[in-house]
């Protein structure tokens, strides 16, 4: 009799609907709301295949019948199963620090790491790959088939200032808890690798190297900048390197520097105030730390409009303005700072207006005590002891900055367009304020406060990992930021403030395009330890258990299912016979 | 006495009443504490409290000799005229400390049969009261739509606040990313959240800690988050995305869940350690049973009033 026509088999086949109904009733799902699903997704493997699906045990006969049916179906369909490790996910942690560029384009540590990655992935038989680029902050890519590996490696440019491999490993364990993790770097691990899922491959070579540790360009005079460069060498013995300083394509200085390993050599130079300055060392093992470009030093430039009169006030202002270190432009069409002695209306274009109120002849003169708002940037360092201040107390809603007792003498008001209105009650002719040190300090503070509110970075140099702030013309403005590698980023100032911020990851020259103009910022690595290649090495630490076992693929279960079906049929027959003997 | 957990079928009005009761209870219990003032809090501003350092108030503190590099504007020229020595005047610092409390109002904080939302609201109320005791100004931030906004009435006592609705569909990082809130600089910042979202803690901590004098993350988990009470076949539903997952929960699965939660919380702990942010973990049901902030005393976050 054909097996499929055996009465007990047909009986078992007929019980399928009942089995399904029983299964459904026994195992219907209870619904439960949880805070987050991502923690539960990792339980999928625990839920199946461990033989734990027996909260309420159905009869053995039920299982025997169901098992027989499933085995026969599996055998007929030639069901194929994956081997235990046939699906081999691989997470690759790649050191993105610039030290991996050491050795030149043909034989760099990055090239060796790439070869090692291909070798390890092929040897492991990885089916899927997830790339985690370890810069200052680790960045995880998507999980993709191993064939897409070249595509996944695009973000790995080895241009970061440093690499936090521990954080990247933690991210890899979080993102891919079941995956083998391959760490590719140029140095040995800080602690022994004990995790059986982690393999640490270092592909560096110890090399002598010298690099720029620091470079600063500051304003010295209106026409000249001061340049400070720090150079450090690492390696076995003293070396001599050639340093070149060029401005706007014109070489300014070429000097041979004797360097002692581990000691910092400082070089200073006067450079023109205009044009980018390029500082470069001659070629060595690592080119990434041999050059940097510095834009001109930050020189705030303010367009100021002076009052036409009265003459004593104008003279006092001119005298104080001459002592300020801010570049001033007079008679501009759109002044940033308007100094007026008339009742001029407040500007709506973001400019600041300082309105001097000349009091009538009978106005009181105050000798103190003066109360200063020390939180205001205008009062920084201002001392009014012994000053005679003549002026009629101000009214209005302005926030008092300087008061004589309860009489406001200087108030400020924020204007809707981003500007500020400062009102000063002052009769210069009858006051001693302009003859005291407090007057130039007050004017100096005013100019710098206005300059800091101008659009721009407020400087031209920063370090990787520092938060950089960029003032823009208006709240909510979008800013296009060009990164050193040519990539573009869009920043947006929050709705409540005219300032955008970002954290640079790679060293180089950043360029921001705003509605008010374009601004440049030199970002330096700030990690001289990456220039030290003496600790680089080639080694393999840790490893994956039984990598050969992972190479098994799919296998057919038809023969096995046929055999098991026979056994199940015998078990079922025995169970039914036993049940028959027991009279059930 | 602990408030009863929020019923799963409660109406919005009942939920608001539940939160309002927690706010009232938190306001009463918070009177026993005062927020500790970090050294940097509220510096460079005038305020009601004397700070710990020399500053810029009107209160004279001391003289010291001029040193190269000192600002010449701070030199007392009268002393120079009398003694022919350059001396610099030092003033007492005045601070106006401020506390920003970011309350995670996503739906995951208002799970059925969990005291998380009551504990979160009560904890925020206790911190606000403790801050007021220490003469801090307080701002409470909640998620609303796609924005993080000030809770209406947060300047008043907590029992007068408009009860926040824990019905946000976005995780907290999205709120911080889409429109970063204007936190006051050099303030003390608190984040009250279950921290249960995938992603890197550094992004949230970076935005939260930027410009702060001190940042404290109060990791509030429900008892069901720590140890799932169910056994057997369950369909778990994400409270915020409504995604579903069917699974069988047995001892092994519970161990794996605990391990996954441990990995997640360890990542947060490590990120907080690197960012010098204090992270304190508390179970909502335990907090709601005691209504006490004594567990924050060892961290120096609060002091006895």
Q: Where are the domains of chain A?
A: 1-23+57-79+558-584, 89-202+535-551, 209-299, 301-452, 461-524
Q: How far is CA B49 from CA A273, A399, B213, B266, in A?
A: 46, 21, 16, 38
Tell me the CATH class for A89-202+535-551.
alpha beta
Closest CA to A201 of A191, A212, A189: A189
List, as ranges, residues 87-146 from B with C-beta within 8 Å of A: 91, 94, 108-109, 111-112
Q: A258, A181 in Cβ contact below 8 A? A: no
Residues A91 and A182: their CA atoms lie apart, in Å, by 6
- H helices present in chain B, as ranges: 12-30, 77-83, 116-133, 172-178, 201-209, 223-226, 251-274, 284-290
Tell me the pLDDT tens digit for each residue of A524-539. 888 888 888 888 999 9
pLDDT level of residue B8 (50, 70, 90 thresholds): very low
Test A374 with B182 for CB contact under 8 angstroms: no
- The answer to whether A209-299 and A301-452 have equal CATH topology is no
- Whether the CB of B9 is below 8 Å from some CB of chain A: the reply is no
Element (H, E) at A327: strand A327-330
- Residue where the block lists tokens 């009761």: B21
Residue A33: the pLDDT is: 87
Residue A550, pLDDT > 70, answer no
Tell me the pLDDT tens digit for each residue of A67-102. 777 777 766 666 666 665 566 788 999 999 989 988
Q: What is the CA radius of gyration of chain B?
A: 23
Residue B148: the pLDDT is: 87
Q: Which residues pair with A139 in a beta bridge?
A: A133
What CATH number has the domain spanning A461-524?
2.60.40.10
- Whether the CB of A265 is below 8 Å from some CB of chain B: the reply is no
- Whether the CB of B261 is below 8 Å from some CB of chain A: the reply is yes
B285-295 average pLDDT score = 92
Q: Higher model confidence: residue B36 or residue A19?
A: B36
Nearest to B257 among A43, A171, A383 (CB): A43
Residue A547: the pLDDT is: 45
Residue B246, pLDDT > 90, answer no
Residue B219: the pLDDT is: 95
Residue A44: the pLDDT is: 56
Q: Higher model confidence: residue A171 or residue B71?
A: A171
Residue B155: the pLDDT is: 83
Residue A548: the pLDDT is: 42
- CA A231, A235, A236, A239 torsion: positive or negative? negative
Residue B73: the pLDDT is: 82
Interface-testing mutation among B177, B260, B264, B268, with chain A (most A C-beta atoms within 10 A) = B260
Q: What is the mean pLDDT of chain A?
A: 82
Size of interface A-B (CB pairs under 8 A): 154
Residues B212 and B181: their CA atoms lie apart, in Å, by 13
Residue B39: the pLDDT is: 65
Q: Which domains does chain B have, with CATH numbers?
A: 12-41+97-304 (3.40.50), 49-95 (no CATH)
Residue A549, pLDDT > 60, answer no
The two tokens of residue B213 are 């004098």
Residue B166, pLDDT > 70, answer yes
Residues A51 and A42: their CA atoms lie apart, in Å, by 18
Residue A503: the pLDDT is: 86
Out of A192-196, A199-203, B63-67, the most confident range is: A199-203
Q: What is the mean pLDDT of chain B?
A: 85
Closest CA to A208 of A284, A260, A145, A320: A284
Q: A211, A187 in Cβ contact below 8 A? A: no
Residues A295 and A484: their CA atoms lie apart, in Å, by 13
Q: Which fold has domain A209-299?
A: Immunoglobulin-like (2.60.40)
Residue B218, pLDDT > 90, answer yes
What CATH number has the domain spanning A301-452?
3.40.50.880
């Amino acid at each position: 009799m054909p097996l499929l026509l055996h009465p007990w088999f047909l009986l078992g086949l007929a019980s399928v609907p009942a089995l399904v109904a029983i299964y459904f009733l026994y195992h219907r799902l209870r619904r439960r709301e949880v805070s987050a699903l991502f923690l539960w997704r990792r339980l999928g493997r625990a839920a199946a295949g461990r033989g734990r699906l027996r909260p309420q045990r159905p009869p053995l006969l039920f299982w025997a019948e169901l098992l027989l049916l499933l085995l026969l179906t599996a055998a007929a369909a030639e069901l194929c199963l994956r081997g235990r490790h046939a699906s081999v996910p691989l997470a690759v942690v790649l050191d993105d620090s610039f030290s991996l560029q050491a050795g030149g384009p043909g034989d760099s540590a990055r090239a060796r790491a790439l070869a090692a990655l291909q070798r390890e992935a092929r040897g492991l038989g990885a089916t899927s790959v997830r790339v985690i680029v370890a810069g200052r902050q680790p960045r995880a890519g998507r999980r993709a088939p191993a064939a897409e590996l070249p595509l996944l490696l695009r973000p790995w440019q080895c241009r970061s200032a440093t690499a936090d491999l521990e954080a990247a490993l933690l991210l890899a364990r979080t993102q891919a808890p079941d995956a083998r993790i391959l760490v590719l770097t140029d140095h040995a691990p800080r602690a022994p690798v004990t995790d059986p899922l982690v393999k640490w491959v270092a592909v560096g070579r110890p090399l002598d190297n010298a690099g720029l540790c620091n470079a600063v360009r500051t304003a010295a005079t209106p026409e000249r900048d001061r340049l400070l460069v720090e150079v450090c060498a690492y390696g076995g013995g003293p070396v001599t390197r050639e340093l070149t300083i060029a401005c706007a394509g014109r070489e300014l200085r070429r000097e041979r520097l004797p360097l002692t390993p581990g000691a910092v050599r400082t070089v200073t130079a006067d450079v023109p105030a205009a044009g980018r300055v390029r500082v470069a060392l001659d070629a060595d093992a690592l080119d990434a730390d041999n050059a940097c470009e510095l834009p001109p030093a930050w020189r705030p430039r303010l367009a100021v409009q002076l009052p036409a009169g009265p003459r004593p006030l104008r003279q006092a202002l001119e005298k104080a303005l001459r002592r300020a270190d801010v570049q001033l432009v007079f008679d501009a069409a759109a002044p940033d700072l308007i100094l007026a002695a008339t009742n001029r209306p407040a500007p709506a274009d973001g400019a600041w207006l300082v309105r001097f109120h000349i009091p009538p002849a009978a106005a009181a003169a105050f000798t103190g005590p003066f109360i200063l708002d020390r939180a205001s940037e205008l009062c920084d360092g201002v001392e009014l002891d012994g000053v005679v201040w003549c002026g009629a107390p101000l009214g209005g809603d302005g926030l008092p900055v300087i008061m004589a007792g309860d009489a406001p003498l200087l108030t400020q008001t924020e204007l809707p367009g981003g500007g500020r209105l400062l009102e000063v009650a002052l009769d210069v002719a009858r006051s001693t304020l302009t003859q005291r040190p407090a007057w130039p300090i007050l004017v100096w503070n005013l100019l710098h406060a206005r300059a800091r509110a101008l659009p721009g970075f407020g400087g031209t140099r920063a370090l990787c990992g520092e938060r950089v702030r960029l003032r823009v013309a208006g709240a909510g403005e979008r800013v296009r930021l060009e990164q050193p590698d040519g990539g573009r980023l869009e920043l947006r100032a929050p709705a409540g403030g005219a300032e955008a911020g970002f954290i640079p990851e790679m060293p180089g020259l950043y360029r921001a395009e705003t509605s008010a103009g374009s601004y440049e910022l030199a970002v330096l690595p700030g990690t001289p330890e990456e220039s030290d290649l003496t600790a680089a090495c080639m080694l393999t630490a840790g490893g994956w258990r039984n990598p050969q076992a992972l190479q098994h693929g799919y296998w057919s279960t038809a023969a096995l299912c046929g055999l098991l079906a026979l056994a199940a049929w015998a078990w079922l027959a025995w169970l039914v016979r036993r049940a028959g003997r027991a009279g059930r | 006495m602990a408030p009863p957990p929020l019923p799963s079928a409660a109406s919005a009005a009942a939920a608001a009443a539940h939160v309002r009761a927690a706010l009232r209870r938190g306001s009463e219990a918070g009177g026993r504490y005062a927020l500790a003032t970090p050294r940097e809090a509220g510096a460079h501003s005038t305020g009601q409290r004397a700070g710990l350092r020399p500053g810029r108030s009107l209160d004279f503190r001391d003289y010291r000799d001029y040193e190269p590099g000192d600002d010449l504007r701070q030199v007392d020229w009268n002393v120079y005229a009398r003694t022919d020595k350059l001396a610099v005047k030092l003033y007492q610092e005045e601070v106006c400390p401020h506390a920003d409390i970011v309350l995670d109002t996503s739906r995951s904080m208002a799970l059925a049969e969990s005291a998380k939302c009551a504990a979160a609201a009560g904890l925020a109320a206790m911190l606000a009261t403790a801050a007021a005791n220490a003469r801090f100004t307080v701002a409470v931030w909640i998620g609303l739509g796609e924005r993080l906004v000030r809770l209406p009435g947060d300047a008043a006592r907590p029992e007068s606040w408009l009860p926040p609705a824990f019905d946000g569909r976005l995780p907290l990082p999205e709120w911080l990313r889409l429109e970063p809130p204007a936190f006051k600089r050099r303030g003390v910042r608190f984040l009250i959240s279950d921290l249960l979202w995938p992603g890197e803690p550094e992004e949230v901590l970076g935005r939260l800690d930027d410009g702060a004098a001190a940042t404290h993350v109060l990791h509030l988990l429900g008892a069901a988050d720590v140890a799932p009470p169910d056994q057997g076949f369950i369909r778990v539903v994400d409270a915020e995305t409504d995604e579903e997952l069917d699974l069988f929960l047995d001892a092994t699965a519970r161990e794996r869940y605990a391990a996954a939660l441990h990995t997640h919380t360890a990542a947060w702990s490590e990120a907080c350690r690197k960012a010098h942010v204090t992270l304190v973990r508390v179970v909502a049901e335990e907090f709601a049973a005691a209504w006490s902030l004594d567990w924050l005393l060892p961290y120096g976050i609060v002091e006895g009033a």
